Amino acid sequence: MGEQVSPAVVAGREKPDVWGCVKCAQLGKTCCQQREIFVTAGDRERIAVHTGIRDFWEYRAPADPSYLDQDDDPVWLQSVFLPDGTRPVLTRKENGDCRFLGPAGCELPLEVRPLVCRLYPYEYTAVGIIGVSGDCPSQVVPPGSTILQVLNMRAADAVRWHRILYAELRAGKESFHDSGTHIRSAG
């Protein structure tokens, strides 16, 4: 499914052998530096309460048109996009990094991060979690381990976050219009 992104790992920098997102950052750009991050109305409210700011998102059309090819998840298609093809995403720094990516990883607490960030690298539809993305490079996973173990992801958390995500999606498009201060962009 479209724009999912891994939480940048903050632990492990002091270790000679690092794995997961820290290792990924050593190899090249991480998903926190490349992906457009969709934010639900709930995400926007949680982040606004935590940060005290509201200008951290904008409407933008997907840079990758293949993102619209999601016939397996009509709930996503119908709930995420406005009629003009845009959807609310986090703004990014000039270098393309997510605006919340700091030198030690994501600056947002786990339970405040966008739900799609928390769920990555799980793949899912409205029905439930259907697998794990193969996008993470194999070099970031030590022998005998899995990416979910490296990221310390618990299945129970993923199920809970998935339930919240789709509840917020189904809550309705009117929530997209809860702020008049955001930037609207066709980018």
Q: Which residues form the interface with ligand SF4 (CB under 6 A)?
A: 5, 7-8, 32, 37, 98, 100-101, 106, 108, 113-114, 117
Q: How far is the CB of 97 from ligand SF4 (least distance, A)?
A: 8
- Considering the complex, state which of residue 108 and residue 147 has its C-beta at the smaller distance from ligand SF4: 108
CA distances from 68 to 11, 78, 85, 136 (A): 35, 11, 9, 22
- Considering the complex, state which of residue 74 and residue 96 has its C-beta at the smaller distance from ligand SF4: 96
Torsion of CA 107, 111, 116, 121, to 10 degrees: 90
- Considering the complex, state which of residue 57 and residue 174 has its C-beta at the smaller distance from ligand SF4: 57
CA distances from 113 to 6, 13, 74, 107, 127 (A): 10, 21, 24, 9, 22
Q: How far is the CB of 11 from ligand SF4 (least distance, A)?
A: 14
What's the CA gap between 55 and 179, in Å, rounded? 9
Q: How far is the CB of 35 from ligand SF4 (least distance, A)?
A: 6
CB 105 within 8 A of CB 7: yes
- Considering the complex, state which of residue 64 and residue 72 has its C-beta at the smaller distance from ligand SF4: 64
Q: How far is the CB of 117 from ligand SF4 (least distance, A)?
A: 3
Q: How far is the CB of 165 from ligand SF4 (least distance, A)?
A: 14
For 10-161, strand residue ranges (E) read 57-60, 87-90, 101-102, 105-106, 122-124, 129-132
- Considering the complex, state which of residue 3 and residue 73 has its C-beta at the smaller distance from ligand SF4: 3
